[in-house]
Structure 1
């Protein structure tokens, strides 16, 4: 007897419905009319089965900090730096209990939306010390049977502008942090300008010293013009190649690439592919282009061009109901629809790709082992109330069944 049998599911790559058998947390068989007796059997009626959604870039320690009763901005948006200052003020008031409660609620909400794995950006700096890391570790362990969580040490106050910072990051990894983070706009040199090359070098140095993957926020602005040498993602790609860190580096945002001239962008994308960088687009569209008086830009990276070049591109929620972005539901079908609008991805094939970006592509970002829908893969599964990927995205359908490690979490 096996644990779970899903009857009559549709798979994106199969022409006809099949059965999927699960035992001891693993897919053990798939095919037509499987002859198994199961402790639980679900009649799926031709609905689409996908591997669990993977949230590849989420600021978990500050998620849901806004008023849940009346979400939205209390004051009009002024600038990203203004919002960051607001975040700095607000987080000084965070209690340990509040952080744990909010992060726990976030994981519960994400699980109901079919998220089975998540990469959480977590503040590490001289002001909060390791407090956020310690609290997210508690939440990670408490919800391990619901959502697999990777914690990224995120340098909210920079890496190189204060001598205590790098030592703090070393201590964070002793507590179980998984990934080295970076944010190239958060270190300022003696001239008052962003010292992003020094920041990127320091992030690489720590990641390689600790033998961990690197996840960097980069190219968060949209200047009128940009040269190849001014693209932070290009420098990251060059460093990745020089240091032999291919396949272990992720860049979040990469917005500036979207405003580069076509020839500059093509050269940059070739380097990104050579470096085997992962690119995580944030399709929230709330932040950039607010000062444009015409031809308003929205700050998306070149999603279609990157995909066409063979770059691994995912998308994520980024900020959910916090000081920076008042929207979001940990719903990657919702974020995928926003991406479809913003990136002009509306063909059936492109919508199919969008669903893969929040599953297979995002799983590659996290380097999840045994991810997928073939026998031997971990049984992290979502049954969608739709027959096809495009129907799921356009219809914003329900997650009928969510399975984590072979156990039904939501039904």
Structure 2
């Protein structure tokens, strides 16, 4: 048993009882000063002032004073692509264009995605995520009759290897037209065999979309799987796949978790239409994931006729504030890392959080903002207790060098210490040279 004293935990990540028993968190400094008691691999109790949740020990255990450091729970990355990751060195996308990325990675997959190759890159990614403080990660895996079997098998093996450190989930990512025409049985069987949490895809606007969504939802419902879609990742004004998904969920009375990632074009719809779509989402309890790093990299690129780059007037982030205001679950995640969709990244969710606050103006709702990489992501991934500092939560903490949110947001690259169980653990990411030898 170990007691970590004097931790300043984001208010969004502590039990409601502690908030009720303490002064309201400051809008600019929304943390609660806590003492955290850990036993084994689980948080046993948390105390703030005169309020305690959980079973506080009668005999004081060994203690560590964290000195008022901003201290996060372990973080959750609810949307990644471990099959594509770390392919940039051999399959770059110099123009940074979306459709170029699809072509480049399709060619790389057919040529290079052996089990050994996927394992090497995905394990490197998980070690990076673990070094930065991630404790749960969901990856989409390209899935069809032609592709995906080996990736699913590799990630299932890694899921077992990382149990107790990172909870790894998978989503079978498919083309909805191909799923309906020929791939459904194969993809569903593969999802069951390798323990996928959801089936997903990238719906495209068109007259066949309602039937495709109905077919996908029926197959997922029969298999007992959730649905996790890439939706409206474009600047097309007529792209309303998010709205079509909500209508399909209502039409089919779908009982499992539905998540929609990206939702970029929602920002370009007029306010009245966007509000109508968001109301549909609220009626379905669809969860939304914004991908600020990847979408601000990919979306809105402009070129002269002779191929010279121009400044963008739009960068692809969805209506995060309006979605939160409607009471919807909104998370942010890494998405692609060092591949043709996004040239950089390191599975560092504190980097994602910094970018989300700065790009999405989440400084104006800072008390709720930490939820985008903690509690909201945990709800999307159906992982109770994760993303919180409370009894029953995994004993994983990120102890930053900051004593305030102002300090924390000022230095994105500041060092951090990681708690796992009753003590500190190593926080060094793997060397990139591993990937080139």
User: What TM-score bracket applies, with the shorter chain setting the length?
Assistant: 0.7 to 0.9
Q: Which piece of structure 1 moves more, 376-385 or 358-367?
A: 376-385
Q: Distance in 2 between matches of 1:158 and 1:337?
A: 37
Q: Distance in 2 between matches of 1:294 and 1:398?
A: 31
Residue 52 of structure 1, aligned match among 71, 74, 77 = 74
Question: Where does 1:5-404 land on structure 2 (aligned, <5 Å)?
Answer: 5-13=3-11, 17-31=33-47, 36-38=59-61, 41-67=63-89, 73=92, 75-77=94-96, 79-92=97-110, 93-155=112-174, 159-160=178-179, 162-185=181-204, 195-223=208-236, 225-226=237-238, 231-245=240-254, 248-284=257-293, 285-291=296-302, 296-347=313-364, 350-371=365-386, 372-396=388-412, 398=414, 400-404=416-420
- Given that 1:180 and 1:207 are in contact with CA atoms closer than 8 Å, whether structure 2 keeps it comes out as yes
Q: 1:128 to 1:161 in 2, by over 3 A?
A: same
- Given that 1:246 and 1:277 are in contact with CA atoms closer than 8 Å, whether structure 2 keeps it comes out as no
Q: Distance in 1 between matches of 2:325 and 2:226?
A: 25
**How many angstroms does 1:198 deviate by?**
3.5
Q: Distance in 1 between matches of 2:300 and 2:312?
A: 9
Q: Distance in 1 between matches of 2:389 and 2:77?
A: 18
Q: Helix, strand or coil for the counterpart of 1:297?
A: coil
- Given that 1:280 and 1:313 are in contact with CA atoms closer than 8 Å, whether structure 2 keeps it comes out as yes
The residue that corresponds to 2:18 in the other structure is none
Unaligned runs of 5+ in 1: none
- Given that 1:118 and 1:148 are in contact with CA atoms closer than 8 Å, whether structure 2 keeps it comes out as yes
Normalising by the residue count of structure 2, what TM-score does the alignment of the two structures yield? 0.82
Q: Helix, strand or coil for the counterpart of 1:323?
A: coil
Choose between structure 1 and 2 for higher RCO, CA contacts under 8 A separated by at least 6 residues.
Answer: 2
**How many angstroms does 1:165 deviate by?**
4.3
- Given that 2:172 and 2:187 are in contact with CA atoms closer than 8 Å, whether structure 1 keeps it comes out as no
Q: Distance in 2 between matches of 1:263 and 1:50?
A: 37
Q: Which piece of structure 1 moves more, 91-100 or 276-285?
A: 91-100
Q: Deviations over 1:13-44 (max 9, x none)?
A: 36663321111322112226976454x64331
- Given that 1:124 and 1:169 are in contact with CA atoms closer than 8 Å, whether structure 2 keeps it comes out as no
CA-based RMSD: 2.6
Q: 1:337 to 1:178 in 2, by over 3 A?
A: same
Q: 1:10 to 1:241 in 2, by over 3 A?
A: same
- Given that 1:351 and 1:393 are in contact with CA atoms closer than 8 Å, whether structure 2 keeps it comes out as no
Q: 1:399 to 1:200 in 2, by over 3 A?
A: farther
Unaligned runs of 5+ in 2: 12-21, 24-31, 50-55, 304-309, 428-437
Q: Distance in 1 between matches of 2:66 and 2:257?
A: 38
Q: 1:32 to 1:358 in 2, by over 3 A?
A: closer
Q: Helix, strand or coil for the counterpart of 2:368?
A: helix
Q: Deviations over 1:70-103 (max 9, x none)?
A: xx946333x3222111101111212211211111
Q: Helix, strand or coil for the counterpart of 1:10?
A: strand
Q: 1:125 to 1:376 in 2, by over 3 A?
A: same
Q: 1:63 to 1:158 in 2, by over 3 A?
A: farther
- Given that 1:183 and 1:216 are in contact with CA atoms closer than 8 Å, whether structure 2 keeps it comes out as yes
Q: Distance in 2 between matches of 1:209 and 1:390?
A: 49
Q: Deviations over 1:333-384 (max 9, x none)?
A: 212222223223333xx23433221111111111112232222333232222
Q: Distance in 2 between matches of 1:24 and 1:9?
A: 19
* Aligned positions, number: 392
